[in-house]
Amino acid sequence: MDKIELTIVAITSSDTQEHGFVVVLKEVGGQRHLPILVGGFEARAIAMEIERIYSPRPMTHDLMKQVIIEMGGDLFEVLITELKDDVYFANLVVLMDNGTKIKIDARTSDAIALAVRFGCGIYVEPSVLEKAGIEWGTFVQVNESEEAVVHTPENPFATLTTEELNQELDKALADEAYEKAAAIRDELKKRKDV
């Protein structure tokens, strides 16, 4: 069976690990999700690139991107290859100017941070998705103001009222939790567009 393409659908704080985050990847054309626990630094690096927030000096993943480019390479793809003892393993597949492909072992969180910088695909071996993939359904819930809201894993703020969302946005900005702030902003924008 061929590798399965994934897309990032959410970055959220972890309920199980203090100061940890979860990057939720979803299979393209399917319903399975792959939650990957990452550290705060990696979560911030991924979110900053997705939101196009740039640091005045290169961060570690920006530096790695520049090194790969300067050495005549381009990140072709990221492949999540294995799950062993609750740890995901990944390879960076670098395409060199001479046409050769080099596989480099990497932490999955770093691989994802580089993938968003290069704009390349993120893939998973089918056996990993079969072992750790989660099918999350969509359900409708009525909030306190009797508005029907669709709640999916990609929409963790859907059950909050607009006033609660604005309060959460202020708190996220004060805490410099920019990925959370971006998700809240998207939910607020979605409600204005309806």
Instruction: Provide the mean pLDDT of the chain.
Output: 84
- Split at pLDDT 50, 70, 90, the class of 172 is confident
Q: In what order do the strands lie in the sheet with 20-27?
A: 101-107, 87-96, 73-84, 121-124, 4-13, 20-27, 32-39, 134-135
pLDDT at 75 over 90: yes
Q: Supply 118's token pair.
A: 């290069």
Q: Are 32 and 136 in contact (CB under 8 A)?
A: no
Could you give the CA distance from residue 158 to residue 138 in angstroms, rounded to a whole number?
A: 12
Q: How far is CA 61 from CA 13, 66, 120, in A?
A: 21, 9, 14
Biggest CA-to-CA distance, the chain:
61
Q: Which percentage of the chain shows pLDDT scores above 70? A: 86
Q: Which percentage of the chain shows pLDDT scores above 90? A: 46
- Domains of the chain and CATH, by start: 4-135 (3.10.690.10), 139-193 (no CATH)
Q: Which of 12-21, 125-134, 145-154 has the highest mean pLDDT?
A: 125-134
pLDDT tens sequence across 17-37:
777 888 999 999 888 899 999
pLDDT at 92: 97
Could you give the CA distance from residue 13 to residue 11 in angstroms, rounded to a whole number?
A: 7
- Split at pLDDT 50, 70, 90, the class of 138 is very low
Q: Are 122 and 8 in contact (CB under 8 A)?
A: yes
pLDDT at 163: 83
Measured over the CA atoms of residue 13, residue 56, residue 174 and residue 157, the dihedral's sign is: negative
pLDDT at 178: 72
Nearest to 187 by CA among 164, 157, 163: 157
pLDDT at 156: 63
Q: Which of 6-15, 25-34, 72-81, 109-118 has the lowest mean pLDDT?
A: 6-15
- Split at pLDDT 50, 70, 90, the class of 88 is very high
